[in-house]
Each structure stands twice: as structure tokens, then as C-alpha cells.
């Protein structure tokens, strides 16, 4: 995978929103954070346009993202927020200009579709917090993004978890939001799973739907292909009046039990205040015993 160049003070970060709308006021904390760290910034054209819940219509958002991809000098593209809409614009993107000046693409949640497309063309990206979240993020989360941009993503660890499936595996780190991975299954944005380490996280899903998605991945052979699984935040899950009977982590553990691969729960990744940056496309080692560790290779 091609790693975009690390940032240095004075470099420029571009703001764009591939999905939901964002106001100038909502962007201010992220601007302040960039400036505090010595970085310049530019807004993509039409950033604050509004069409219902979206940051403008599909063509507006596509042109804005294309402008970012083609930018001749910027070093990073920071997607402002998730929601829904990225998958509606990724098929029309042209990556030729990006190849002349690769940049770090930063975001999570709905941005999983864009991470998948970047991976298809051979580029590493950063699954990390977004401008809409900066005010509520922990210092550790923001520091992890700074470290990933200026140097390399830092190793992560998770506390001991009763559902951990022990073992050690190595591979390229792929993945993102569980619901988004489910929605892009079979498309060009689907990650390459062969021998790689998959990470998942999600927010505000019904427990039966977690089971449905895991069942689909299992039937499609995903768990036969991966070498390990990293589970991040499964946040604010929903249940029906008649309980499903398992929480999200138990559902995931049940589906992975027949597969003799390491599974580590409780990583600080996803819809959490402590959402740490991880590098999609990096070679990593997953070690799971009582706790779990995600360690970056050279």
C-alpha cells in the first residue's frame, strides 16, 4: 500500500463533507485544533451547502471531494462527518490527480466507503475522528490523530475481555463501520480480506441486525479469509420489546467461535469519545490473550 507523506507544520488540510451537512459553527473546534498544531486549512467548494440532511446534493459533494483529491499541494482530506451519502458519490471519482499527490483521507463511520475505494487503488488511509466530534473527543483520541498525521499511527491495546478468542495473527488492517461494510459487500469498495486483519465498530443498531450482518459475512466466507478480528465500540445498541437475548459482543463472539483466529474486543475505535486513529492498509500484528494488542509493523 502507498502511504501518503507525513504532515509537517505549515501543511494544508482540506475539509469536505461527503455525507451529512455541517455548519460553519460546528467546524470551528476542528479549525482551532489544526491551527494549534501548526497546520493550515482550506474548505472544499460548497462545504456548507444544504440539501435536506446532506451537505448539498450528490453532484455538489462529489465535485467537492474531487477538488480535494486533485488538490496539488494539500497533505490531508478531513471528512467532516458521517451519517449517509458517501456511497452515492464514490463510483464517479477520478483518482488520477490524487496519484500525483497522495493525501491522508481521514474519517470513520459512513466514510468507510471512501476508505474502501482508496484501498482499491492502493492507498493507506486513517480511520479516525472527524471535525463534528472534536469538541467531545478525549485528548488521547486527538493525540492519536496528531501522531498518525505527523509520524505513524500508535499501537493500541484493549483491556482483558471475557469474550476474547486468544491467538496471534499478522496481516494488513482493513475494515471500518460494520453496517457500512455490510452495505458495500460485493462492490468495488469491499476490502480485500485474504489473510488480513478486519476491524469493526458500530452505533445505534438493533441487536437482531448485528446478528443478520454477522450471518451474512459468515455465509459469504469472510471469516474463512481473515486472519484476525478487532472489535471496537458497539455503541448505543437497541433491542426489541422482546429481548434478542445477547448483547452485540456476544453475537460477534458466537459467530467467530468456530473459526480458529484471534478475536480481540474492546478496542478504542469507532463511535466513542476515545476514538483512536488507526491506519487502514498498514501491516499489523494482533495479539490476544487476556487483553489484546494491535501492533504496527515497519
Domain ranges across the chain? 12-150, 156-296
Length of the chain: 298
For residue 290, what pLDDT is reported? 86
Fold of 12-150: Rossmann fold (3.40.50)
Q: Which residues pair with 42 in a beta bridge?
A: 14
CA distance 37 to 50: 30
CA distance 262 to 288: 6
CA distance 15 to 39: 13
Average per-residue pLDDT for the chain: 98
Q: Which residues are catalytic?
A: 109, 201, 271
pLDDT tens digit sequence for 46-76: 999 999 999 999 999 999 999 999 999 999 9
CA distance 166 to 261: 8
Q: What angle do CA 105, 269, 231 make, to 5 degrees?
A: 120
Name the nearest CA neighbour of 161 among 271, 273, 262.
262
pLDDT tens digit sequence for 87-125: 999 999 999 999 999 999 999 999 999 999 999 999 999
Question: To which H or E segment does residue 104 belong?
Answer: strand 104-107
Give the orientation angle of helix 248-256 with respect to helix 207-219, to 10 degrees.
Answer: 20
pLDDT tens digit sequence for 7-22: 999 999 999 999 999 9
Residue 235 to residues 49, 210, 275: CA-CA distances in angstroms? 30, 12, 12
Q: Which residues pair with 43 in a beta bridge?
A: 15
CATH number corresponding to 156-296: 3.50.30.60
For residue 38, what pLDDT is reported? 99
Amino acid at each position: 500500500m502507498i502511504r501518503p507523506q507525513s504532515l509537517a507544520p505549515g501543511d494544508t488540510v482540506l475539509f469536505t463533507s461527503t455525507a451529512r451537512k455541517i455548519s460553519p459553527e460546528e467546524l470551528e473546534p476542528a479549525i482551532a485544533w489544526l491551527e494549534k498544531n501548526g497546520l493550515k486549512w482550506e474548505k472544499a467548494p460548497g462545504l456548507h451547502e444544504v440539501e435536506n440532511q446532506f451537505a448539498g446534493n450528490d453532484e455538489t459533494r462529489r465535485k467537492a471531494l474531487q477538488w480535494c483529491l486533485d488538490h496539488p499541494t494539500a497533505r490531508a482530506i478531513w471528512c467532516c462527518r458521517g451519517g449517509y451519502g458517501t456511497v452515492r458519490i464514490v463510483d464517479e471519482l477520478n483518482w488520477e490527480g490524487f496519484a500525483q499527490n497522495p493525501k491522508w483521507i481521514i474519517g470513520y463511520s459512513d466514510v468507510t466507503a471512501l476508505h474502501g475505494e482508496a484501498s482499491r487503488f492502493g492507498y493507506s488511509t486513517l480511520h479516525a475522528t472527524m471535525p463534528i466530534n472534536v469538541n467531545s473527543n478525549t485528548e488521547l483520541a486527538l493525540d492519536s490523530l496528531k501522531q498518525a498525521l505527523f509520524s505513524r499511527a500508535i499501537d493500541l491495546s484493549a483491556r482483558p475481555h471475557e469474550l476474547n478468542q486468544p491467538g496471534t495473527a499478522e496481516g494488513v488492517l482493513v475494515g471500518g463501520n460494520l453496517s457500512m461494510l455490510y452495505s458495500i459487500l460485493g462492490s468495488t469498495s469491499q476490502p480485500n480480506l485474504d489473510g488480513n486483519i478486519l476491524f469493526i465498530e458500530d452505533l445505534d443498531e438493533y441487536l437482531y441486525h448485528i446478528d443478520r450482518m454477522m450471518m451474512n459475512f459468515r455465509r459469504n466466507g469472510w471469516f474463512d479469509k481473515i486472519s484476525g478480528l478487532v472489535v471496537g465500540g458497539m455503541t448505543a445498541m437497541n433491542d426489541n420489546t422482546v429481548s434478542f437475548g445477547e448483547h452485540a459482543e456476544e453475537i460477534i463472539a458466537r459467530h467467530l467461535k468456530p473459526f480458529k483466529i484471534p478475536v480481540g474486543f474492546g478496542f478504542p475505535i469507532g463511535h466513542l469519545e476515545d476514538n483512536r486513529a488507526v491506519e487502514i492498509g498498514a501491516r499489523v500484528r494482533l495479539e490476544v490473550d487476556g487483553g489484546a494488542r494491535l501492533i504496527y509493523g515497519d
